[in-house]
Structure 1
Amino acid sequence: MFIALLIMVTLMIVFFIKFQHRIPILMYHRIATVPGDRNSLPPEKFKEQLDYLKKHGYHTITLNDLYNHVTLQVPLPPKPVILTFDDGYEDNFSCALPLLKERDMKATVFPIVHWVGMENKWENFNKQLTQTMNWDHLKQWHAAGMEIGSHTLEHPFLTQCDEVRLEQELRHSKMILQEKLGAAIDFLCYPYGFFDNRATEIAKQCGYRGALAIFANAPLWNHDMYALPRIPISSRQPSWEFALKVSRFHILFIMLRKIERGAKWLRWK
């Protein structure tokens, strides 16, 4: 019993030392009240989360801040956290942006280039129809000090794309965003969180500084700028769990999701 306890304590200490400097990257989608949609966070819950971060001394940073820290050892503020929004829904602009600006916070949005300013009909599985941010919204987002990355042209499963389609999705989306917005597009967000070695290599060739996943295939022990794991924030997110997800123990949630995904995959086989 004593030996088992000693091993457990030792593992916890090793875990804490190894991951204490990892920065939590939160993944949001819509900021709206949509019954039955776990990816849509009600505005009052989002406001509550931002207020928690502000009250407890967290500082939002951009992905470029993270890149400069990792590659150039540029210091970061205390308790850094990164906020990301997938798909570029219009409510990110109309609802989330004012709340972020009021608190002098930063965030990154990943629009789908061929769906900018359109209804979300790529989500053809009974999702509530809503608009995405248009080009003017994205320009205002950037002018407010926020960051923009690419979420590809069409939001495909990259692991199912051939080499030609894969390069088009990554390279052309970056080029179009840069031309339309007059801003550098340095980061990629893999649709559905799925990627493979081909995707990471082409992302590097296209000039991305890094790429974001969710948890599947994302390494935890080693820090890989082209496979950054994120923590999903759901509509049913309780306050105590959010507090843990932005703490030094946030990597535990990613680890548990990886285990859960692995168990599901084994059952499917």
Structure 2
Amino acid sequence: MRSAFAAIFLLLSTLTAPALAGEFIVLCYHDVQTLVDDPDGMSVSRDNLVAQFSWLRENGYHPVSIDDLLAAQAGEKPLPPKAVLLTFDDGYASFYSLVFPLLKAFDFPAVVAPVGRWVDAEAGSLVAYGDTLVPRERFMTWEQLREVAASGLVEVASHSFDLHYGIQANPQGNEQPAMIARYYDAATGSYETDAAYESRLRADFERNSALFEQHLGMRPRVMVWPYGAYNRTAQALAREQGMDIALTLETGANRPSENLGAVRRILLLNDPSLRDFVWHLHNPLWERQAPVRVVHADLDYIYDPDPAQQEINLGLLLDRVQQLGVNTVYLQAFADPDGDGVADALYFPNRHLPMRADLFNRVAWQLKTRIGVEVYAWMPVLAFTLGEESDLVQVWKSDGTTAPDPDQYRRLSPFSPHALRWVGEIYEDLAKHAVFDGLLFHDDALLSDFEDAHPAALAAYRAAGLPEDIGTLHADPSLKRRWTRLKIQTLDDFTLHLAEVVRHWRPALKTARNLFALPVLERSSEAWFAQSLPRFLENYDYTALMAMPYMEEAGNPEAWLEELVRRVAETPDALSRVVFELQSVDWRRDNAPIPAARLAAQMRLMARLGARHYGYYPDDFIKGHPDIEKLMPVMSLRSHPYVP
């Protein structure tokens, strides 16, 4: 039985569409059994494998080798049409007894990826397989690997020497993939350092490569990431050992011209029949974009000084998300107990702010592995209690003086190199210490039409050929448009830099950013926020549009929402990328709850107008608001046709 953490890395994919010219797809198999008896769903029956191989051959698919990929990458020989790479993870004995004879019969090349420790174990011993012990004979021997490698059909890849397991990755005891997690030492209350982490991976890769050379007469040139988990540091260390090609469990087709250090694969689960195999082949998951249904949750609601009560609170959130049947959670990663939108502390270890509790990784992991949702880390962009007043965004006043705006978030200036470094390091610390799918950039990434008068901002205006005087910029419509575009670009670049910092550790990261409604409803108001829907659509996977009529004091909330959806629809394809975030409380009226029936009616209204993605904020899972029974019919995706 696999340990629980494996699910999030294995249950990710489905088959892809027939590859276009120049593309190739990669199929990921594991064990093959004569009669499948596998509660984990990782095995395929021999009969179904024969049927799949036969169907691929009869329908014009061309299995290719690693050499074929390298030749195509070098421009020496193009890939054939409908190119497919066959891969088999873990090095099961069934690869030798059942798969290898089929490869020879069909003349199909393939990749097999054994775990070094499992192969190198003594005959008759037990090896740690996930959270169980299994006989060493379940896996191939060095002799069998030499034979398949000598056939010319099989590439033997590294699956690490001993990183196919989980290590403790937080104080609460969650186990996460050893390839990417920082080991948490409960005895000392400390995490593995960068140097120790890199040394651990380097030693593993070196040991496995040396074993390959000793037993197979060659060093591996392909790395297959255990559980599909990797980061750019691991990629660089693999390249040091000559493994320039690496296979992930991210889903999609590939091109040889792309980075072969992150080849996408399609995981075959639950012994698919030929009918299911073919259906998925022609209906790829990423072309069946599921609607996004979001619960936006505060970690401040979960936090409690009493660890036992904190776990009870976490259970309430998990139960609620499970019942609602949504697929996405925007999860607060910063502490804001006073509710002013500024991060006073953080819920993960970091270099710059107090850690209120080491909680984000725990909650995100439980949501991902127990409930199966995608988790976006909701983070401020500029609103941190860092620096002095001179580091903050400066608003220009009519008397020519400047100061931070007391009516706005306390924000670091996005023009300040200090801010870029400080915030970048905070985001890097988040990425190192937690597993999550995306970032939600908070609504603090804005600049008013009298901001920013920070000295670094004025220098940037001068470098762009603009006056440094805010009054002059504001008074001239032409200059104001140029100035607004520069500020929009600066905020975009700031967030894109943060995303790139995180992608070093979370390469498959998705992004979303909060957008105020007014720049959508009134294009001229872009200057009041330095935000633009077209630019958001260009730069982020999703735009989390604040569809909050009560916050905007709309006289008729439903009419306001109707107009908002229609304005979004005026931009081509915007409805496929915009998540409408409704409000479940009225902050302007002492946090009065919005009735769940009305919230559900607003969701139905937006869906009738073409909105595909929506959610709400906040979710009070402690008090049970909004009412689940009223929201489930419009939030749950369990029976939605887009979900397989």
For Structure 1 versus Structure 2, the TM-score category normalised by the shorter chain is: 0.7 to 0.9
Q: Secondary structure at the match of 2:262?
A: coil
Residues 231, 245 of structure 1: 8 Å contact kept? no
What residue is the counterpart of 1:265 in the other structure? 374
Q: 1:76 to 1:219 in 2, by over 3 A?
A: closer
Residues 149, 156 of structure 2: 8 Å contact kept? yes
Kindly indicate whether residue 192 of structure 2 is the aligned counterpart of residue 185 of structure 1: no
Kindly indicate whether residue 168 of structure 2 is the aligned counterpart of residue 147 of structure 1: no
Report how far residue 71 of structure 1 moved.
2.8
TM-score by length of 2: 0.35
Percent of aligned positions that are identical: 24
Kindly indicate whether residue 46 of structure 2 is the aligned counterpart of residue 46 of structure 1: no
The 1-side partners of 2:281 and 2:222 are apart by 22
Question: Given the alignment, which residue of 69, 73, 77 partners 2:72?
Answer: 69
Q: 1:219 to 1:44 in 2, by over 3 A?
A: closer
The 2-side partners of 1:84 and 1:94 are apart by 16
Residues 43, 269 of structure 2: 8 Å contact kept? yes
What residue is the counterpart of 1:159 in the other structure? 180
The 1-side partners of 2:200 and 2:162 are apart by 10
Comparing 103-112 with 238-247, greater Cα deviation is found at 238-247
Runs (4 or more) in structure 1 with deviation over 3 Å come to 18-21, 117-121, 124-130, 218-222, 244-247, 253-256, 259-263
Report how far residue 170 of structure 1 moved.
1.8
Structure 1: runs of 5+ lacking an equivalent:
1-15
1:193-246: CA deviation from partner (whole Å, max 9, x where unpaired): 001111011112221121011018x99899321111110012331324422555
What residue is the counterpart of 1:21 in the other structure? 22
The 2-side partners of 1:151 and 1:223 are apart by 22
Q: 1:219 to 1:238 in 2, by over 3 A?
A: closer
The 2-side partners of 1:208 and 1:112 are apart by 15
Residues 48, 273 of structure 2: 8 Å contact kept? no
Supply the RMSD in Å over aligned alpha carbons. 3.3
Report how far residue 123 of structure 1 moved.
1.9
The 1-side partners of 2:23 and 2:224 are apart by 19
Report how far residue 55 of structure 1 moved.
1.1
What residue is the counterpart of 1:122 in the other structure? 128
The 1-side partners of 2:63 and 2:206 are apart by 28
Q: 1:246 to 1:82 in 2, by over 3 A?
A: farther
Q: 1:158 to 1:19 in 2, by over 3 A?
A: farther
The 2-side partners of 1:106 and 1:39 are apart by 21
Q: 1:78 to 1:143 in 2, by over 3 A?
A: same
What residue is the counterpart of 2:58 in the other structure? 55
1:21-74: CA deviation from partner (whole Å, max 9, x where unpaired): 321101111001224231011111111111111111212111232122123342
Structure 2: runs of 5+ lacking an equivalent:
1-16, 165-177, 183-196, 294-326, 329-367, 377-434, 437-644
Comparing 103-112 with 118-127, greater Cα deviation is found at 118-127
Q: 1:229 to 1:179 in 2, by over 3 A?
A: same
Question: Given the alignment, which residue of 222, 238, 252 partners 2:273?
Answer: 238
Q: Which has the higher contact order (CA 8 A, sep 6+)?
A: 1
Question: Given the alignment, which residue of 114, 125, 138 partners 2:145?
Answer: 138
Larger radius of gyration: 2
Comparing 237-246 with 83-92, greater Cα deviation is found at 237-246
What residue is the counterpart of 2:39 in the other structure? 36
What residue is the counterpart of 1:103 in the other structure? 106
Residues 193, 213 of structure 1: 8 Å contact kept? yes
Q: 1:182 to 1:128 in 2, by over 3 A?
A: closer
Residues 24, 250 of structure 1: 8 Å contact kept? no
Alignment of 1:179-258 (within 5 A): 179-215=214-250, 223-243=258-278, 246=281, 250=284, 252=286
Residues 117, 132 of structure 1: 8 Å contact kept? no
Residues 22, 80 of structure 2: 8 Å contact kept? no
State the number of aligned residues: 249
The 2-side partners of 1:265 and 1:169 are apart by 30
1:66-99: CA deviation from partner (whole Å, max 9, x where unpaired): 1221233422233211000111000011001111
Q: Secondary structure at the match of 2:24?
A: coil
Q: Secondary structure at the match of 1:226?
A: helix
TM-score by length of 1: 0.80
1:94-131: CA deviation from partner (whole Å, max 9, x where unpaired): 00111111111111101111110657733243587561
Which has a greater percent of strand? 2
Q: Secondary structure at the match of 1:121?
A: strand
Comparing 137-146 with 125-134, greater Cα deviation is found at 125-134
